Structure formats: structure tokens, C-alpha cells
Chain A
Amino acid sequence: MTAATAPVRHRTPRAASAVPLNAARLLRVELRRNAMPWILPLIAALFWFDSYRPSTGAAPLYGLRTFWNMGQGGTIIDFGPFVAGVAAWMGSRDGRRGLADLVTATARPRWAAQLATWAATAIWAVAAYLVFVGILFAIYARQGVGGTPPWWWVAAGATAVTAFSAAGFAVGAYWPSRFAAPVATFGGFLAMMLSSQTGFRHNTGWALILPTNSNGNFDSQDSGIFFPWLPDLPIARIIFLAGIAVAALGLTGLPARAGGQWLRRAAAVLTLAGVALAGTAVGLASTARLSAHGMVIPALHDAANDAPITYTPACGHAAGVPVCLNPAYRRWLPDMTAALTPVLAEVVGLPGTPARAGQVAAAYTSSDGGPPQAITLGGHPTALRVSLGMLDMPGPCGFCDGPVATKQFVDQIRLAFAHAFVGAGNGGGSPVQQAVQAALLRGAGIPFAAQPKLVATAKNVPGPAPGPAAGPVYAAARRLATLPAVAQHAWLAVHLAALRAGRLTLKELP
């Protein structure tokens, strides 16, 4: 019998079933021999230092605690470049050791073996990322952080780690050098820095796809409290990052030594599919528009995500008026009632005095005609709508010069109330409205001398630069403030409608 006449042997069922078994065995070997676990203690230390530690300086709300580590990609910056470096080290392993020819001659296609090495690296990295983020959120939950975690951003972060591992692996596979790992890490860091550089400046268009860009999608602290985190942009980023990962892995299957012709064609198709996927995601991000709840991508948007989160409010009383907040803000309810009590007491019984006060969500989009107000009056019977998401809450504040004092918060609330009550709207108000506002604040315990600074530092009340409490407005306010409380109340009862309509002048003040 010659080779030509020998019968063709078909693969036995047992041999066919052995393929996945062998792949699993290879993966297990690669998992055991992987370098990734050795770098994880370093990443854990950096994760604690760079992602967890600064976040504890922010108010205990998920939107604020995770602004840096999730919204601006802090966890990705901590993980990604190092994962890319170790993946490059693993990808360059056979080439560095001079084993490329030896392993190319084995029964299994080279590309399949490389994919097993990459898969083991990615499994270690993604598992570590999920564990670290899980611990982070568990600590937040233990600290009573309000709201719901941004799970879609976690998914985007895990996909980013996968993409970094694939890109780093491709660098190592193509360049089996000792410098592959540092170059891949450096490239990862540079990419993230340039992403920050571009992302911080652009709040529309293609730049929204960048994983460090928080503009319009992570900068409302009421996301996850009043309304769900919109998944549109994270989904686009997941598609983009998955596309990069697929393209990078496809690239490793293109060289002649990777496998047979069909396998290399499959790798080419995979590369093109990855590029197309990433390009599609960039196109989707370009169509994003800002809504009240964050970035909406029409092709990905699910209307179900617009439904508000239902909750049972936490309520207290201020001057007999019920004050209700979202339970995520429950810890600040005493501060809120203490802030409103004196100003509500001044105006109780007047027409348009609020019958209740309730918290509303801080929207992403601002209303026309000036900055949105933290406190507005409206409805029938009149209700006070308080948007605490627009203010710095008492306690730690990651985005301020230091912690916010309770007095600072209380004064801001009183100013916002007085501003809304006199009908000043989104502007600074007419001179007479400013004078009445000043007199109300004086009655609530804020001296005239402290008011210019308070108005100047208020985020949502336009006003002049801080200076002395002088001029015709403060002179009129002093006149009004010297009247007995009953007389003030009586004057306001008669003139409140005209005051709010802006029809009064300073001379008409008593």
C-alpha cells in the first residue's frame, strides 16, 4: 500500500470532541503561566491611590464619587496601560525566547495558540478590573453613598481593559522585543492623555466616544438618583472598544506563520470587521444630542430609560411647611429644613407662599435666559422646587477648594429662596427685587455686609463682583429692614404681585 492508495481517515467523534478540551487545557496552562497576576498588586495599589482615595473627598452620591474614576476614565487609566504592557510581554514571549519556529511547527495553528495566550491575559485583567470595581462599590455601599452605581460605565471600562490587552498583545506579537512592554504601556498612557486632552474640550461630536470624556454624560450628580444612567453613550463606547480589540486580534492572525490560508483570510475579515465596528461607533457618537438626562443616541436609545426612578421621599418640616427630599439626600434633610425655616417664617401667609417644598432633579440642559435656578416656585398650590443637584452639599467636596461648611450651604439655600420669592428669575433681578431679597436675607440672619460676597459666590444667581454693601439698592434694603416685621409683611402682602412683575421702583419701597 502506498500513500496514494491509502484510505482517507476521517476524524473520529472522539477526536472532534477533543478539540475544545485541548483548547480548554491550553487556556488553563496559559492562565497558570501568565504574567498578569504579578502586576496586579501594583495595579491594586495604584487603583487605591488614584481611583478610590480621591473619590472619598466627594459628597456621598454616586454621580460625584464616580465622576473621576468612571466618568473621566480614572479606572481605565489605572488599568489599561499596565494591562497593555503585560499583554505585550505575553505576546512577545515566543519571539523573545527564540521559540517562534518551534511553536509554528506544532499541530495547532499558531494564531489559535496566540489567541489562547491573549485570552488568558484578558481573563486575568478583566476579572481583576471587575473585582477591584466591585470592592470599590461595596465600600461605597458600606459608606451609604446615595443613588445607583453606573453599571454601564463599568461594562465600558471592562471592554476598555480588553481592548488594551488586545492592542498590547498585537504590539508584542509583531515586535518580540524587551521594549515591547514599555512601549505598549507608554502608548497606552499617551493615548489616555491625548484622550483627556481632546475629551475635556469637546462636548459634542465624535470626541464623545473617548473613554475619558465626561461632558454631557456624567456631569449631573442626579444621574442614578432621579433618573437612570443613560446607557446610550456607554454602549457606543463598548462597540468602539470591542472593535479595537477585534481589529488588534485580527492583525495577529495576518502573518504567514499564523496559520493556513483560510485562517489568515478569517483574520483579515476579523480585522476589517473590527475597524468597521469602531467606525460605526464613532458615527453613532457623532449623532448624540444632549437631553435632560444625558446624551441620547437616537439609534441606540430605549425610551424605557427615560422613566424616572420611583422612590419614597424623606420628609421634614420648615416653619410648618413640609420639606421632602430624595432618600439619597436624606442625610442633608436637617440642614435643608434649618436653612428654609427662617426665610419661610418671614413670608408665611403671603400670597404665593409655598405650601410644600420638594426636591427635583438637576437636568443636564439649562433653561434659556440664564443659568437654571436651584430653587423655583410654581404650581397650584404653590410649591417650592429645590434642585439640590446644582449645589455643593455640606461636607467633603471633591471639586471645591475644601469641604463645604453647613453655614455656606444654608446661606446659599436662603439666597436661592429669596431670589425665587421676589421673582428675579434667571437674571440678577430688578433693583427693587434685589433690595427686597437683601432685606429678606437680613431677616433670615445674613447681615448686609456678608451679602455681596454670598451673591458673588452663588453658582446660579448672577450678580456683581463682591464689594461693600452700599449703593441705592442696599440703602433701600436697609430702609425696609428697619420696619417692624408686621409692617414688612403687610407691605409685601400688598405689593408682592407688582414686585414679582418688576413694576416697582426703589422709591416705592417704604
Chain B
Amino acid sequence: MTTAGLHRPAPGNVPAPAAGTRRDRAAAGWRLARLYLVSRRVPMALALLAGLGALLWAALHWHWNIAGGAAARQVIPLTIETGAAAVIAVTTYGPFGEPERAAGRWLPWLRLGAAVALTTVAFGALAAGAAAGAMPGGTLLLLRNLGGMVGIGLLSAAVLGGAFGWTGPMAYLLITEGALAHRSVTPWVWPTRPPHDRGGAICACLVIAAGLVLITVHGPRESGRESGPAS
């Protein structure tokens, strides 16, 4: 028999999926989510995000400020926010490639859920760390900067691959540092704008929205050359 002889079965002939209780479906869903999170090394990411929160706490508590004005005081908190965004971007890397894409019906939702959940956890960890002292710009600035950075991380994961998703936020950090030093105020470099600035907030929201949409629909780029299990 060849594939030419195969025909699509009539709708009535498809065997019904095995009926399960709601509890069974919930258990299967939980197992799927757990396996997905483990495959993306989310537990390690959570530990790293907690560590970054502690680092922010230490930086604010012991005043690790760079000498200079208000812009210079932002640099170290911004570096820590960038680290959190880089960690979230790297969790998008999937080790299974095409088989998972072909079989994973819930994969887009899992990607979206993981990214949103990790961003929320990162914000919580950094906000807790910021409680140690005067966070430049306050919690609102933290939310805007972190959200935008995560968006850049997700975008770079979609373009460069999950494993190299960290390059986007790190490069953006350098651009921001240059903009802070030279008093550039374009809203696309939102960390240079004040906390209640509408332009900066809109740009950051656009970037994270684009990142979430792209990572949900398209997923991280997978290199054909990269094979084998990834940690």
C-alpha cells in the first residue's frame, strides 16, 4: 500500500478520544505544564531570578551607586533588570525541536504562559529586592524597564534562537548606558525617560507585546546546525 491509496476517513469513523474525568484532564494538563517547565529549565531560572532580587537588595542597601547624577544611579538596578530579562529569554530555548512543534498542540500557550509567569515572578523578586532602599524611579519604573527588556529578550530569542536570547537585553543595556551618559531622550530607550512618561511606557508596552506575540505564535528560532540535548 502506498500513501496514494490512503484516504481521509469519514468524520464519523474517527475514534472518540478516551473519555476522562475532569480530574484526569487536570492531572494531564499539570503534567504537561510541569514537563514543559522542566524542559525549559524554569526551576533554575526561578533560582536565578531570586538571586537577582537579592542582588538588587544588596545594591540598594549598600548604595552601590555610580558617581554622578540621577541617570548614573539607575545603572546598577538597570543591569540587574537586564540580567532578569536575559534569564527569561534563555528559558524559551527548547531541546526537542521539530517533534515537539509537530506534536505539541498546547505549545504556543505554554510558551506564552511561561513567559508571562516568569516575568511576573521576576517583577516580584526585583520589587522585593527594591524594598531595601530608594529604588531610582520607584516600582513603576521597574515594571516598565523590566517589561520592555523582557520584550527585547523574547524578540531576540525569536530572531536569534532561545539560547542566544540574552544578547538582545545585554546589547540594549549598553545602548541605554550610552543614552544615559549622553542625555539622549528617545522613548525607544525608555530607561532614560521619567517614570510617568507616556512615550517611554508606550514603547516598552509595544516591545513586550511584540515579544509575547512572536514567541507565542512563532516560538524561538531553532538552528538546523544545533543538535543534541541541551541543558
Binding site for B on A (CB under 8 A): 38-39, 42, 45-46, 49-50, 53-54, 57, 77-78, 81-82, 85, 89, 92, 95-99, 176-179, 181-183, 185-186, 189-190, 193-194, 196-197, 200-201
Contact = CB atoms under 8 A, between A and B. Distances in A.
Interface in B47-96: 48, 55, 64-68, 75-76, 79-80, 82-83, 86-87, 89-90, 93
B7 to A, nearest CB: 43
Contacts of A85: 166-167, 170
Chain A at the B interface: SS class: helix
B178 A49 contact: yes
Contacts, number: 106
Interface in B147-174: 162-164, 166-167, 170-171, 173-174
B6 to A, nearest CB: 38
B181 interface: yes
A193 B76 contact: yes
B45 interface: yes
Contacts of B182: 54, 57
B230 interface: yes
Contacts of A194: 64, 76
B9 interface: no
Contacts of B65: 197
Contacts of B35: none
Interface in B186-231: 228-231
Interface string B80-117: 10110011011001000000000000000000000000
Contact of A178 (B41, B64, B75, B177): B41
Contacts of A193: 66, 75-76, 79
Given A178-B163, A179-B44, A197 B171 contact: no
B111 to A, nearest CB: 16
B174 A185 contact: no
B28 interface: no
B231 A197 contact: no
Contacts of A95: 231
Contacts of B228: 97-99
Contacts of A185: 86, 166, 170
Given A181-B90, A200-B67, 12 more contacts: A50-B178, A54-B182, A78-B174, A82-B167, A82-B170, A97-B228, A177-B44, A178-B41, A182-B83, A183-B83, A190-B80, A200-B68
Given A54-B182, A200-B67, A181 B166 contact: yes
B175 interface: yes
B80 to A, nearest CB: 8
Contacts of B41: 177-179
Nearest to A72: B181
A49 B172 CA distance: 11
Nearest to A197: B66
A179 B87 contact: yes
B174 A77 contact: yes
B69 to A, nearest CB: 12
13 contacts: A42-B171, A50-B177, A53-B178, A54-B178, A82-B170, A177-B44, A177-B231, A178-B231, A179-B48, A182-B89, A186-B170, A189-B83, A196-B75
Contacts of B68: 200
A201 B67 CA distance: 7
Contacts of B64: 194, 197
Query: Interface residue tally of chain B, by bracket?
Result: 35 or more
Contacts of A46: 171, 174-175
Contacts of A42: 167, 171
Given A186-B86, A193-B66, A176 B76 contact: no
B66 A96 contact: no
A189 B166 CA distance: 13
Contacts of A77: 174, 177
A178 B181 contact: no
Contacts of B90: 178-179, 181-182
Among B79, B166, B174, max chain A CB count under 10 A is at: B174
Contact of B173 (A38, A179, A181, A189): A189
A38 B229 CA distance: 21
Contact of A179 (B45, B55, B177): B45
Among B55, B75, B80, B173, max chain A CB count under 10 A is at: B173
Contacts of A82: 167, 170
B55 to A, nearest CB: 8
A89 B87 CA distance: 14
A97 B86 contact: no
B62 to A, nearest CB: 11
Contacts of B86: 182, 185-186
A197 B76 contact: yes
A27 B33 CA distance: 43
Among A50, A81, A189, max chain B CB count under 10 A is at: A189
A156 B164 CA distance: 28
A223 to B, nearest CB: 22
B174 A182 contact: no
Contacts of A176: 231
A50 B229 contact: no
B175 A178 contact: no
A50 B82 contact: no
Given A50-B178, A96-B231, A197 B67 contact: yes
A49 B166 CA distance: 19
A406 B200 CA distance: 37
Nearest to A196: B66
Given A181-B166, A197-B65, A197-B67, A49 B175 contact: yes
B183 to A, nearest CB: 10
